[in-house]
Structure 1
Amino acid sequence: MSDATRVLPAQVRPSHDAATRPVRWGLFANEDWWSVWIGLAVIVVAWAWFAHGGSLKWLAVAPAKWKTLGEAWQGVASHWPNYVALFTASALLFGTALAVLGHSLSRFLPSFLILFVTSLLIFLAATWTEASRYNLEAPLLALALGLLVSNTVRLPEWFQSGLRVEFYIKVGIVLLGATLPLTLLFWAGPVAVGQATIVSLATFFTIFFAGKALGLDRRFAAVLGVGGAVCGVSAAIASSGAVRARREDTSVAITLVVVWAIVMIFVLPFVSRALGLSTAVAGAWIGTSEFADAAGVAAAQAYGDAARNAGGAIAGAPDAAVQAFTLMKVVGRDIWIGIWAFVLAWVATTRWNAAEDGVRAKAGAREIWARFPKFVFGFVLASALVTWIASHYSLADYRKIVTPGLVAPISTLRTWAFTFCFLSIGLTTRLRSLTATGWRPLLAFTVGVMVNVIVGYVLSVHVFADYWNGLGG
């Protein structure tokens, strides 16, 4: 049986067979719709609190950075009512949806409790100062722990009820939309947006066509392509849900993104200094070539610190490295998550699914609507709402007021959802399935890395150097 047709467990199968069922127009008929309502409900509540001078921070709780186990325990113990409230709210939202869809709450709730407590421990491990140095974020640790457990311990059947991979992904993606207002495009300016567009397109199509040439499934190639073209982990998650890729493929894509992100933390600052790049130009190149925000900030900050201690040997203000990186990566490239998710969802719905199901490619509007992943619309609506909110602020005020008061709590809740998702993926995946694709994904992604780095260098150092140096003051 080929990879593209392998049957996965029904409760975690990230395929497109849900789209082939009879059309159901109810707005509460499936997890797709429920993910939209849950995500938007959280965003609206957060906005209402923010508009009245409050914040959802009390619910969006997460462990703070810690160095010793004593600090870690004290942090959790002092916020135990917040964690209880977060579990209760999460169980209520997910449980209500699943009950309406006909699932057993008596099986889901104890399973979700174990999932939540384990996710908290994973969150705690990810906030250890030494873990952050190596970009070991909570979703990645969740995936690794899940794989370890699932391949060494036989889990009880009832526990599978809480491992709702697709549901957690979809809710997380809707929440992701709230962290990416379209206003960022205008704040970034035409150069940052233009450079991000060139790099995103070049890297995606390089990886996608390389993957197809190497025999990878087109959904897998698309997830790899977006992971390399945009924002690593978040982009891979969003594109995976949009094209309904297999969970094993998503796991491989995340692993490759993180490995290369860690490599680039060390390589890009070293090469930038060897080439004598200014701080702003190096920051732009890092922003164009890195695959994760946390890793990119680390690399840009390292170069800025090197300039600060170099006694003038590196041109530009030290802070310009992080400023240029933020403009290029966090603003310019990250907004492409939504664009790629929508485009790929449309292509998968109207072309790939139709071809695989033996349906004519030019399907009618009703059929396209039935097949289209509704949570992508949730992502767009969430982005539109925060775009409207952001339009009332300058970029400086947005970062100072909106980000900590509104966006940061939603971002924390998104990370919880992604952690639930990747822990569930790990707990339902066998290592044999991860190694089945062999070296081909690594080669396809590495080709994209080379293109990404070279194109980013040319644009940052030669084409738009004056613009980036102008930021450095």
Structure 2
Amino acid sequence: MNGHAEIAMPKPAVKTQQGWSELWKKEDYWAIWMGLGVVLGALLFFYAGSSIKPIAVAPPTWVDFSAVTKHFAAKWTWYVGLYLLFTTLFTISSAIMGFKVREFIVGFTLLFLVSTVILVAGSWKTAIDLNLEPPLLALLLGMIISNVFKLPKWLDTTFRTEFYVKTGIVLLGATLPFTLIIQAGPVAFLQATIVSVSTFLAIFFAATRLFGLDKRFGATLAAGGSICGVSACIALGGAVKAKKEHVSISISMVVIWAIVMIFFLPIVAKAMGMPAGIAGAWIGTSEFADAAGFAAAAAIGDEAAIRSFTLMKVVGRDIWIGLWSFIMAVIACVVWERGSAADRGERVNAMEIWWRFPKFVFGFFIASLLITFVALQFTPQEFNKVLNPEVIGPIKTLRTWTFVFTFLSIGFTTRFRELTAFGWKPLAAFTLGVAVNVPLGYILSVLIFGHYWAQI
């Protein structure tokens, strides 16, 4: 989810294979390499008798601001080291993917400095009591700045929402035991299947039957509302050969409703007294983008909400990107084009699922497996006293930084004037999907599968 900063021209479904170059030219793979690199680095330091904890710095909880000044006086060299680490990793990967190095370094320096301020503000005891988590503060500040001031367009090179959130999700895998994924995975996939199919059909038929929109446009809108926001819009838009402006409008719908849900879902969940695990599952079922969903889950203020959200959204819904892209590519070629694709010698094959599948999900699973394997070597007491503070804790801190980068990027690229530059029909179709998605997510997360999510 990133406003209009990373909208790509859709590619024909039959020409999506990239070959080995994907390994160094795609965000998904770079998120894997960097995320797993951090996890492996943390483990290597740990087995060498050390820890990455010093460089995984973050402001402490404070009441008196003097505590903050003392903290930075003692730790400023580690903040410089952390800045250099993040800048090196993200700059090298962005340069290889074709982004301008000078623009990225300047923009990322600004992003890191503002993120530091956000983390300080989010560590204030009053902000914590008000559930103003750093990701939420980052989103609000970013939106205020981007809608009051006109930011230079070249800064969009740095505001790489999808890249940051994918890297953060790989790191998140290191904090989720694989046994938990196996336990909740089937439930998450079943729930995601029900929601994905129901919401997709609701938006598609509303768009095409009620409002007379183009079928390719309707399918792209439906993907954004039922699977994984921006990534799904781009992937499925390419699979069905949707127009670029239709992909852009679909992304705008995702941005509008995802931001609404960041505030709506946590408020309602808390007002209803939902356990954190159930609230996270409802958010994972009802939100429209990974980044926005994480912000909403973080606002619950309990790690259980983040775990259940991740299982529901990443394990359950995100894998539908490849499946829906394949299904709709077949329908577009065989039904909508009425044989014209065959006349041109084009065909859709099963590898479309692989080409469209969100690869960063593999990084999430591998990170979880690595930490789970290491954790099996320790007793529960040793885990809490040694592995958790020396390995998992620092990874969580680095994960928090990547998510703050994510939400600042969302805020900086969300310009309300641009989001209103479309007709009412796409908004109406998407809103009908929301009317299906949110209540259905509640029924599944609370009433049907609530006993599973409450135990997360």
Using structure 1 for the length normalisation, give the TM-score. Answer: 0.70
Aligned to 2:51: 55
- Residue 81 (structure 2) aligned to one of 61, 82, 85: 85
State the distance in 2 between where 1:456 and 1:373 align. 24
State the distance in 2 between where 1:193 and 1:30 align. 27
Kindly indicate whether the alpha-carbon contact (under 8 Å) linking 2:103 and 2:158 is maintained by their aligned counterparts in 1.
yes
State the distance in 2 between where 1:416 and 1:243 align. 30
Kindly indicate whether the alpha-carbon contact (under 8 Å) linking 2:199 and 2:433 is maintained by their aligned counterparts in 1.
yes
Please, which runs of 5 or more residues in structure 1 have no aligned partner? Answer: 1-7, 227-234, 273-281, 299-324
The answer to whether 1:43 aligns with 2:32 is: no
State the distance in 2 between where 1:123 and 1:333 align. 22
How many angstroms does 1:114 deviate by? 0.8
What SS does the corresponding residue of 1:173 show, helix, strand or coil? Answer: helix
Aligned to 2:366: 381
State the distance in 1 between where 2:330 and 2:401 align. 34
- Residue 412 (structure 1) aligned to one of 397, 406, 414: 397
Q: 1:445 is aligned with what amino acid? A: V
Note closer, same or farther for the CA distance 1:265–1:425 as it changes in structure 2 (3 Å cut).
Answer: closer
- Residue 120 (structure 2) aligned to one of 114, 124, 129: 124
State the distance in 1 between where 2:45 and 2:61 align. 26
State the distance in 1 between where 2:231 and 2:427 align. 24
Aligned to 1:23: 18
What SS does the corresponding residue of 1:381 show, helix, strand or coil? Answer: helix
Please, which runs of 5 or more residues in structure 2 have no aligned partner? Answer: 208-216, 238-246, 285-295
Q: 2:400 is aligned with what amino acid? A: T
Bigger Cα displacement from structure 2, 148-157 vs 282-291: 282-291
- Residue 7 (structure 2) aligned to one of 13, 16, 22: 13
The answer to whether 1:251 aligns with 2:237 is: no
Aligned to 1:445: 434
The CA RMSD over aligned residues, in Å, is 4.1
- Residue 351 (structure 1) aligned to one of 313, 327, 349: 327
Kindly indicate whether the alpha-carbon contact (under 8 Å) linking 1:174 and 1:376 is maintained by their aligned counterparts in 2.
yes
State the distance in 2 between where 1:422 and 1:120 align. 13
- Residue 421 (structure 1) aligned to one of 381, 406, 417: 406
**Alignment map for 1:57-456 (pairs within 5 Å):** 57-185=53-181, 199-215=191-207, 218=219, 221-222=222-223, 224-225=225-226, 248-269=252-273, 289=282, 292-296=296-300, 326=304, 334-340=310-316, 343-352=319-328, 362-363=348-349, 365=351, 369-393=354-378, 398=383, 401-435=386-420, 438=427, 441=430, 444-456=433-445
Aligned to 2:292: none
How many angstroms does 1:356 deviate by? 6.5
State the distance in 1 between where 2:123 and 2:149 align. 27
How many angstroms does 1:80 deviate by? 1.6
Aligned to 1:279: none
Bigger Cα displacement from structure 2, 210-219 vs 128-137: 210-219
State the distance in 2 between where 1:66 and 1:237 align. 37
How many angstroms does 1:372 deviate by? 4.1
State the distance in 2 between where 1:204 and 1:400 align. 41
Identical-pair percentage: 31
State the distance in 1 between where 2:416 and 2:162 align. 20
How many angstroms does 1:45 deviate by? 0.5
Q: 1:126 is aligned with what amino acid? A: G
Kindly indicate whether the alpha-carbon contact (under 8 Å) linking 1:28 and 1:34 is maintained by their aligned counterparts in 2.
yes
Note closer, same or farther for the CA distance 1:151–1:138 as it changes in structure 2 (3 Å cut).
Answer: same
How many angstroms does 1:163 deviate by? 2.4
State the distance in 1 between where 2:397 and 2:201 align. 35
State the distance in 2 between where 1:18 and 1:44 align. 37
Bigger Cα displacement from structure 2, 452-461 vs 259-268: 452-461
Kindly indicate whether the alpha-carbon contact (under 8 Å) linking 2:189 and 2:315 is maintained by their aligned counterparts in 1.
no
Bigger Cα displacement from structure 2, 78-87 vs 204-213: 204-213
What SS does the corresponding residue of 1:146 show, helix, strand or coil? Answer: helix
Note closer, same or farther for the CA distance 1:286–1:65 as it changes in structure 2 (3 Å cut).
Answer: same
Using structure 2 for the length normalisation, give the TM-score. Answer: 0.72
What SS does the corresponding residue of 1:25 show, helix, strand or coil? Answer: helix
Kindly indicate whether the alpha-carbon contact (under 8 Å) linking 2:132 and 2:299 is maintained by their aligned counterparts in 1.
no
State the distance in 2 between where 1:204 and 1:221 align. 9
How many angstroms does 1:347 deviate by? 1.6
State the distance in 2 between where 1:353 and 1:135 align. 43
How many angstroms does 1:207 deviate by? 4.1
State the distance in 2 between where 1:400 and 1:264 align. 36
